[in-house]
Chains A and B, each alone.
Chain A
Amino acid sequence: MRKKKSKLNQWVLAVFLAGSCALSCISVAQAQENSELRKLFIEANFAYKDSRYEEAAAQYEKILKKGYENGNLYYNLANSYFKKGDLGKTVLYYERAMFFMPYDSDLKSNYDYVRSLLNLGLPEIPGSRFQRWIDRLFAGVSINGLAYFLSFLYMAAMAILSLNLFLKRFRRFSMPILILLGLLFLPAALSLNRKIDTFNNAAVVISKLADVKFEPFETATTFFKLPEGSIVEILGKTGNGYKIKRSDGKLGWISASSVEAIKE
């Protein structure tokens, strides 16, 4: 019996050690990669400070190509494109940064400034009046922030329902609290859904002035034109063209080279 126990203990110890080794190897590799990425970021910042904006943009994009992203990275990349004079790409990368840090005042200030330079005004939010109100309500919350918020509301509701089972005195407060949680949950869920939709389907015009045509052919008649920095919704793709919808609902076909989707 004692022999069996000691053998079992040995196995457990061996598995534990192997697992710890593997985890630490992964952590070391991760830490190494992170430090390489930070090095690229710092080099890019130095290039930006020396007004070598082309080089700075290239370095920031290397981090993206490695499959990583965050709000600061997109923000700095947008600033680099702005300094290079490519306002379409500037708007694109500010839009991407917005999904990570919509509350950042520097980002909002820069974005508003660039839109004013392009005479674009405030981005028009499509949807009904209720939908636009919801968007404004949660404008400063990122997708992850909303997901965490919804999770918190749901867990709070479960906790209240559980307490309701055992505490009779609590029951008279629980219904109003649950109603309040429900009233917060619904618009937050709608807002999260719209943000995810926008992230997946929105695109920015990156050419100076893009023709939007009736048909996806070069020789088709132009329906209307979109200036640089305009935001559209992609509905479909055929060949080299995208079917897009403008904020006022007008539909048309645009060349794939004139527009870039917010979701990479």
Chain B
Amino acid sequence: MNRPIHARPRCAAATLTAAVLATTLATTPLVAQDLVIQAARIVVAADTVLTDGRLLVRQGKVAWVGDDIPADARARARVVDYGDATIVPGFVLAQSTLTQDADLAESALAFTPDLRAAEGFDPWRKETRELPRCGVTAVGLSASPRNVAGGIGALVKPGREVATIPVPELHLTLSLTQAARNEERPPTSMMGAIDLLRTTFTIAKAGTHAGPDAAVLRQVLSGSRAVFVHADAYTEICGALDLARDFGFTVTLVGARDAEKLLPRLVEQKVNVVLDSLLPESRLEQLTLPTRLAEAGLPFCFGGRPELLRLSAALAVRNGLDRRTALQALTRMPATLLGQQASIGSLRQDHAADFLVFRGDPLDLDAKHLATWIDGVRVYGEEPPAKKPAAEPAATVAGDN
């Protein structure tokens, strides 16, 4: 039987509304609930510490800090109260191949500056899932140091199951270490490696070569692309410094085992340093190098193996480095060296909600690591029981701690 004529427009309108609603819901992402993270001590940055502080996390970022949090936002947010814990920014590992050396080094050719590490990276590897347990929330994925010019790095962030690559192109990786000198293909010597770099930079500077490799070198010369150079021994460091001086770019040394022998020159050329891992059995010169670099005013950060980051910082503190500089060398400084200080390395507003929760000071090994959060998602550890949001007194901002 036919429907009455007057009912037909109402049915059509309802159907249309339902269709529009369904489409809207399908295309609009679900809005995660805001989080208020509370703890006895929140280290927003090395020089900004909140006592009995809180952060409001919205869509993976720090939306507000401390008493800037609007009351209505606080009221709607889910509270995660870690009680007497200390919250610090997540550790940033400035340089690593994340055990994928083989896929991040083109062994047939020594000079591949245009290759991209992000394209050779497997985000599902087990080693990447272990990073949050070490407190690492961001990594400067680099090409392997087994090539003189390995390629372009990327920023990788671990997740619960799979890592992400928020920034696919970062610095250029060069290497003058023994690993880059290969008997089976040139260069086979230190002289050959330096000559190769000089030649290619000269060509790039001249602008006569239009290939992608020269384009990358021109970016370095123009200052639009940072360059990390693996150099450990004195001659290797000198070679890197000579190259940087002669072609007018700033260099970040990776390893720099003999940096102490060249401190004045490193200061003069404003060199950054990414240190290798420290171990208890490391030579005393290595254990005290962070202190010497800090005293010289050189920007540096801890690098090497992700599992050894915290131990490296603790050993540096044990051998004279002050705690504030040590924490900066784990967080803000590596972010700066990667050019990502606007998004990671601290818990300031609009930074990624990447943070670690400790019972105690993270630079003391007796502090228990309770949790790791990346982009506002807990990827390691436990969460305390949820509490209802309540009006609390304003947080106290402390100075240097």
User: Do the two shown chains form a genuine complex with each other?
Assistant: no
Q: Which residues of A contact B (CB under 8 A)?
A: none
Q: Which residues of B contact A (CB under 8 A)?
A: none
